[in-house]
Chain A
């Protein structure tokens, strides 16, 4: 048996316990490997989607995560990198369909996770803008730090839910939609106009367009202050002019 044939036969048994155990000794012990792969992923999901797990309880979560894991081949060896599509799975998971907010909470958990583990990057100081004339901001774009993540639910109070799971009061699930930002291990609720502005910047819109996106939501939005906050918090890592040159 060649090396490739042996690996392929082993993988077939991991995928399907009824596959023929070609060339394997003690093949009945393959269940230990299937168990390890599954338990490792389920445990990692519980760590990453901690608010979802708290909401539904450990048993329901583990069972739900197991259905997801069995239906979704892992795309990375790094357990920290798995789970991007778990929120979408939850949205379509019939036994959780009464918990209408669960998928949005899962998206929030994933945003917190991405922000926490994002690569380090050097921030641009506010002074980096000093050399620009105001009208160049019309075409200037900012690259936001990957540790800055945004989450918003149209219907559910994400910030209240998160606060509840950090020792805060029981959330009123009917309090309406909320937006928040995550920066590394910190988070704060933000106004919808601020969410719109940061989302536009994150998606590569020029500064002017992002300010206008905020003002379209709330025409008295303090957009200058919000722009200043990004720089003051180290959340801007590059400034790019329209001609593509980095400042």
Chain B
């Protein structure tokens, strides 16, 4: 398709598309709802132990193991 024809087709597609086509709506999936945004508050947390430097947070002495949904996919990871 040459440039002029391409642009003519594109422009015609836009003008024919209308607003909020059902095709556009049907393929959507939801990320999250309104409850998601609310991290700013004026409470204090108080857990004083979290306020101190601690050795277990040193990556060299890391003791945590990923234990979420990644476990379900374990063993399927290929080297890149």
Contact = CB atoms under 8 A, between A and B. Distances in A.
Given A99-B70, A163-B29, A224-B9, A60 B65 contact: yes
A183 B31 CA distance: 9
Contacts, number: 206
B39 A43 contact: yes
Interface in B5-38: 6-21, 24, 27-33, 36-37
Interface residues of A, number: 88
Contacts of B51: 17, 30-36, 38
A137 to B, nearest CB: 5
A79 interface: yes
Interface of B: 3-4, 6-21, 24, 27-33, 36-37, 39-40, 44-53, 56-57, 59, 62, 64-70, 72-73, 76-78, 80
Given A211-B10, A228-B17, A232-B21, 20 more contacts: A29-B48, A40-B45, A43-B39, A48-B39, A54-B68, A60-B64, A67-B57, A70-B57, A94-B59, A98-B77, A129-B11, A130-B15, A134-B8, A134-B11, A135-B7, A170-B72, A185-B33, A186-B28, A231-B17, A232-B24
Interface of A: 17, 29-36, 38-40, 43-44, 47-48, 50, 53-61, 63-64, 66-67, 70, 78-80, 93-96, 98-102, 112, 115-117, 125-127, 129-130, 132, 134-135, 137-138, 155, 162-166, 170-174, 182-183, 185-188, 207-208, 211, 215, 223-225, 227-229, 231-234
